[in-house]
Amino acid sequence: MEHPYLFLTSVFGLFGLEEWAASHPHVTYMWLAMLILIIFGWLAGKSVSLVPETAQNVFEVLISGMEEFVVSITGEEGRKSYPLLITIFLFVLVGNLMGLVPSLYPPTASVNTTMALALIAVGWSHVVGVWHHGFKYIKHFLGPVPLMIPLFLPIELIAHMARVLSLTFRLFGNMMGHELVVLILLMLGGMFLAPLPVMAMGVFVALVQAFVFFLLSTMYIAGAIEEAH
């Protein structure tokens, strides 16, 4: 389903890139999400003081609250992975919320973006596993009995591939579904504000999906850190 109007596509049209921008809205809007995050980060870090005020207060509560939450799941070793996790959370949140603004396209409604994020999160969990256990990390894939290795190895590999796909499709499906429902309702009854209740629920969906993505990546890292069964 085509988006009726995309703001960034017309902006890129000014530079003669309209065709490319129209076929890659997830790329251009991902840049926008990155830009928003960078500007917010710059605003928050511009005047850091010991006694926080207004904006710094909000960011400190968000960042440190999430940090404690991550550490309570993964243990103290997981603190090193926290910057990646909070970046994923904030990026997905901003990306999801962009779907609520008319003329913006949520980058997370494209399977390319979510697949990339899921590959980064799951790939990093394996890096953390190798980092913590060295070569013994392979024990995570071999099961409890040495005799059963030929059976357990493919099973575990499939289970780990399913992690990537389930992260990908959960976020992609939710965001694309929301986008489609809003567009269809807009087409059918836009004059009577039909998409309004769905958009109100979209705020909730955006928050929950961002949090679930963040939570599951955290749990995969926690699973890589803990000892093999």
In the complex, which residues of this chain contact another protein (CB under 8 A)?
Answer: 65, 68-69, 72-73, 151, 154-156, 158-159, 161-163, 165-166, 169-170, 212, 215-216, 219
- Closest to another protein by CB, 104 vs 176, is 176
**What distance in Å separates the CA atoms of residue 222 and residue 79, rounded to the nearest whole number?**
11
Kindly state the smallest distance separating residue 169's Cβ from another protein, in Å. 7
CB atoms within 10 A of CB 10: 13
Collapse the DSSP code of 113 into the 3-class scheme (helix H, G, I; strand E, B; otherwise coil) and give the result. Answer: helix
Kindly state the smallest distance separating residue 87's Cβ from another protein, in Å. 19
Kindly state the smallest distance separating residue 79's Cβ from another protein, in Å. 15
- Closest to another protein by CB, 9 vs 209, is 209
- Closest to another protein by CB, 57 vs 166, is 166
- Closest to another protein by CB, 157 vs 201, is 157
Kindly state the smallest distance separating residue 215's Cβ from another protein, in Å. 4
Measure CA 224 to chain center: 20
The residues near 27 (Cβ < 8 Å, ≥ 6 apart) are 107
